[in-house]
């Protein structure tokens, strides 16, 4: 009998608008495209994905708390909560699962208020500025960490 390995994919506020919101910054691909990309990438390595997007912080926190029961790690794009949410950071820290933080744009080159990430110090993997392909990179790096194949 094999045990399913699972990753929680969390997308925060406004990421449901991918493909519509500021395509010059976020591209023309949709949240469904992101979820499909991550699902296919994880499946290549024998992992499955549970995907969640919400514009409500409490929903995200509840999903992160629940992940400690049946997930091996978390890939998260917290959206604007990256720069504002201590409670999101505390939830990620509290569940003690490996975390990959991903951002479609490079937050370090955007408006000054976007430069700080509350998630950065609890994430083992950081990927930004690669468009939605960054989700593939983040998923692969997290799986490498989970399977003991990470470099460095």
- Is residue 1's pLDDT more than 60? no
Q: Across all residues in the chain, what is the average pLDDT? A: 93
Please check if 83 is assigned to a binding site. yes
Q: Where are the domains of the chain?
A: 5-146
- Is 65 an active-site residue? no
pLDDT the model gives residue 152: 58
Active-site position among 26, 56, 65, 116:
26
Tell me the pLDDT tens digit for each residue of 12-38.
Answer: 999 999 888 777 767 678 999 999 999
- Is 26 an active-site residue? yes
Under CATH, domain 5-146 is a member of which superfamily? Dehydroquinase, class II (3.40.50.9100)
Tell me the pLDDT tens digit for each residue of 88-125.
Answer: 999 999 999 999 999 998 888 777 777 789 999 999 99
Report whether 111 contacts 81 (CB < 8 A): no
Please check if 65 is assigned to a binding site. no
pLDDT the model gives residue 105: 87
């Amino acid at each position: 009998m094999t045990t399913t390995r699972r990753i929680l994919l969390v997308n925060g506020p406004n990421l449901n608008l991918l493909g519509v919101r500021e395509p010059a910054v976020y591209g023309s691909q949709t949240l469904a495209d992101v979820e499909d990309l991550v699902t296919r990438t994880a499946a290549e390595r024998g992992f499955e994905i549970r995907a969640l997007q919400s514009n409500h912080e409490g929903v995200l926190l509840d999903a992160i708390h629940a992940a400690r029961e049946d997930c091996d790690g978390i890939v998260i794009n917290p959206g604007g909560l990256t720069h504002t949410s201590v409670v999101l950071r505390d939830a990620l820290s509290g569940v003690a699962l490996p975390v990959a933080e991903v951002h479609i744009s490079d937050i370090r080159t955007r408006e000054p208020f976007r430069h700080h990430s509350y998630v950065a110090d609890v994430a083992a993997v950081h990927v930004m500025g690669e468009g939605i392909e960054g989700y593939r990179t983040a998923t692969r790096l997290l799986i490498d960490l989970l399977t003991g194949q990470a470099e460095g």
